[in-house]
Amino acid sequence: MKERLIYLAGVPASGKSTLFKRLRAELFADSTPFQYGLLRGIETKEGLYMLGVFDGSTFEGTDRLSMAVINDTLKWFSGLPSEARVFVEGDRLFNERFLRETNAVLLAIDAHPRILQGRHAKRGDNQTETFLRSRRTKFNNIVAKSGCQVWPNNTETESERIYQALKRFAK
């Protein structure tokens, strides 16, 4: 079965939203919003989909979806044509069930702690250390179980490499 969904995963401030913002500007410029139950996203005429709410707020994407969105998302996904390509990032759907049932390609990214700290400071995050540790633990556990490679995202060159991998998935 050909993979139809790519999931960009990473701890907070690893660069997921920044990469997806760039992807939206290039591949989703003429997209339209869609809704299916609790699921919201954008779609193109070419059959590309990006899940989440994109309204210019600080935490866009799947973070803006309901905590109960998984069942509607899986039902929606099962009805997509085989040529559709779906992009997902963030924490809301980042769990073993979703990754398994969608046969997702997991693209895991991370950055050096100093880089992460600088990004948190730059955007004025108020996420607690407890929350950040919990996201790190979740990320590490799912990545270890999946056996996927973790791509570093510390520099512009590394970010470009990840971006090009995302773009290749759209084709």
- In the structure, what pLDDT confidence band is assigned to residue 2 with cuts at 50, 70 and 90? low
pLDDT in the model for residue 125: 85
Give the DSSP letter string of 47-91: SEEEESB-SS-SS-BGGGS-TT-HHHHHHHHHTS-TT-EEEEESS
For all residues of the chain together, what is the average pLDDT? 94
| Nearest one of 166, 6, 9, 165 to 84, comparing CA atoms | 6
Q: What digits encode the pLDDT tens for the residues 42-82? A: 999 999 999 999 988 877 899 899 999 999 999 999 999 99
CA dihedral 36, 5, 79, 43 (to 10 degrees): 50
Residue 4 near residue 85 (C-beta atoms within 8 A): yes
Mean pLDDT of 118-123: 91
pTM score, two decimals? 0.94
Which amino acid type is present at position 50? Answer: M
pLDDT in the model for residue 10: 97
Distance CA 110, CA 132 (A): 13
Distance CA 19, CA 115 (A): 16
Residue 1 has pLDDT above 50, yes or no: no
Cα distance from N-terminal residue to C-terminal residue, the chain: 16
Both structure tokens of 105:
């390609």
pLDDT in the model for residue 60: 85
| 10: three-class secondary structure by DSSP | strand
Residue 121 has pLDDT above 60, yes or no: yes
Mean pLDDT of 107-121: 95
Mean pLDDT of 24-30: 95
Q: What digits encode the pLDDT tens for the residues 146-164? A: 999 999 999 999 999 999 9
Residue 113 has pLDDT above 60, yes or no: yes
